[in-house]
């Protein structure tokens, strides 16, 4: 055994330093982070990055239709001659918009219900949690199809449908964490100190749920993209000519297998984004040491 280097005066690592250490030693998490950042940049700067920004709309160029991938069109062109790569970049925009819209509503709603149910207990808990159970028992895709069919298919209604189903998971997660935290003395200590319910819910309990919420959001993002793409693929989500990855796969599927790039390229884009969010989520989970 070679004598290892000695550090006698120990630097005490803070939990943040330990978390960052764990994250940076996790190649999968780093890959996930890089992918997510690239998707976000693509979405934000799509008009600057896209070789043919006009392809995002109802632009047609029949001379160039069904062109195979080339230097000029990295991912080929579609049935009306639009550049698939440009449409994929804009497609990330739509997908991320969906993620922000859905989670922006579903997460706060679900988290607040979970906090309230876990903290107050009793009848409040019974009503909230049983309602959550009922929502969870509904088959999500069938529900979403029903809602978008009734409300007419478009981006906003797709968001509403997914949001209505999504909050339940956050309620369950937060409820479980709060129930465990209620056994800790700091909650009672805050009560003895005269703290309001608002203070205990949002200043004492919520900070102890943040890591779990962050991990859950990251893992959720991938699934929301997939769910939105599924709806679009079935024709009940975002409508043409808006460049949506799911719609692009559906349209491109008609020209399979000869003009494969029209369906496969947007499909790979979906895979890329979801893989990124999932790897990042797993990395965050290991880094923040939370159980989901």
Partner 1 sequence: MTNRPILEIENLSIGFRAYGQYRRVLRDVSITVGEGERVSLIGQSGSGKTVTMRTIIGTLPMPPGVVETGSIRYDGRSLLELSKIERNKLKGTGISIVLQDPMLSFNPVLTIGRQMDDIVRYADSRLGQNRSAAQRRDHIVQTLAKVQLSEGARILDSYPIMLSGGMRQRVLIGMALLNRPRLLIADEPGTALDVTTQDEILALLNTLVAEEGLSLLLITHNLGVVREMADRVYVMDKGRIVEEGTRDAIFTAPQNAYTKRLMAAVPPLYGPDVVTIENHHTDPNPAISIDSVSKDFVGRSGLFHQHRTLHRAVDKVSIDVMPGDIFGLAGESGSGKTTLAKMTLGLIDPTEGTIRVEGQDISQIAGTADFRKMIQIVYQNPGSSLNPRRTITDQIAVPLKFTGHETSRIKTRVGELLEMVDLPADMANMYPHELSGGQKQRVAIARALSVNPRILVLDEPTSALDVLVQSTVIDLLHRLREEFDLTYLFISHDLSLMRNFCNRVGVMLRGQIVEEGPVAEVFGKPSHAYTRALLSAIPVTTDEADAMKPIVTKEERAAVLNPSTAIGG
Judged by CB under 8 A, the residue of 70, 72, 152, 186 near partner 1 is 186
- Measured from the CB atom, is 137 or 192 closer to partner 1? 192
Choice from 5, 122, 137, 142 touching partner 1 (CB under 8 A): 5
Q: Which is nearer to partner 1, 190 or 275 (CB)?
A: 190
171, 114 in Cβ contact below 8 A?
Answer: yes
Q: Least distance to partner 1 from the beta carbon of 14, Å?
A: 6
CA 279 centroid distance within chain: 12
Rounded to whole angstroms, the Cα distance separating 35 from 272 reads 7
Task: Candidates 4, 71, 198, 291: give the one binding partner 1 (CB under 8 A).
Answer: 4
Give yes or no for a cis peptide into 241 (omega within 30° of 0): yes
- Residue closer to partner 1 by CB (options 122, 194) is 194
Q: Which of 130, 180, 196, 289 binds partner 1 (CB under 8 A)?
A: 196
- CA dist 179 → 114, 289, 292 (Å): 10, 18, 14
> Which structure tokens are listed for 283?
């990395």
Interaction of residue 9 with partner 1, rule CB under 8 A: no
What is the Cα–Cα distance from 209 to 173, expressed in whole angstroms?
A: 9
Among 85, 165, 201, 204, interactor with partner 1 by CB under 8 A? 204
Stretch that binds partner 1, among 99-107, 136-144, 199-207, 231-239 (CB under 8 A): 199-207
- Binds partner 1 by CB under 8 A, chosen from 12, 48, 137, 142: 12
Which stretches of the chain bind partner 1, using CB under 8 A? Answer: 1, 3-8, 10-15, 17-18, 21, 184-186, 188-196, 199, 203-204, 207-208, 210
């Amino acid at each position: 055994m070679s004598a290892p280097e000695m550090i006698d005066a120990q630097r005490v690592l803070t939990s943040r330093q330990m978390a960052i250490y764990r994250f940076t030693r996790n190649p999968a998490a780093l890959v996930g982070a890089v992918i997510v950042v690239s998707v976000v940049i693509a979405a934000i700067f799509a008009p600057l990055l896209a070789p043919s920004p006009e392809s995002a709309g109802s632009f047609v160029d029949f001379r160039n239709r069904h062109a195979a991938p080339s230097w000029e069109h990295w991912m080929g062109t579609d049935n009306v001659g639009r550049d698939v790569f440009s449409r994929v970049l804009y497609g990330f925009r739509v997908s991320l918009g969906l993620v922000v819209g859905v989670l922006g509503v579903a997460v706060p709603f679900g988290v607040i219900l979970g906090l309230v149910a876990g903290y107050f207990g009793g009848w409040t808990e019974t009503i909230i949690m049983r309602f959550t159970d009922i929502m969870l028992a509904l088959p999500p895709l069938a529900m979403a199809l029903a809602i978008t069919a009734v409300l007419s298919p478009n981006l906003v209604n797709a968001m509403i449908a997914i949001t209505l189903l999504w909050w339940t998971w956050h309620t369950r997660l937060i409820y479980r964490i709060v129930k465990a935290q209620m056994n800790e003395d700091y909650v009672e200590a805050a009560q003895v100190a005269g703290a309001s319910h608002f203070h205990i819910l949002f200043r004492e309990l919520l900070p102890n749920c943040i890591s779990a919420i962050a991990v859950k959001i990251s893992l959720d993002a991938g699934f929301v993209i997939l769910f939105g793409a599924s709806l679009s693929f079935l024709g009940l989500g975002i409508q043409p000519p808006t460049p949506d990855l799911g719609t692009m796969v559906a349209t491109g599927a008609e020209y399979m297998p000869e003009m494969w790039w029209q369906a496969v390229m947007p499909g790979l884009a979906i895979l890329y984004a979801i893989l990124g969010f999932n790897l990042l989520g797993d990395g965050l989970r290991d880094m923040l040491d939370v159980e989901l």
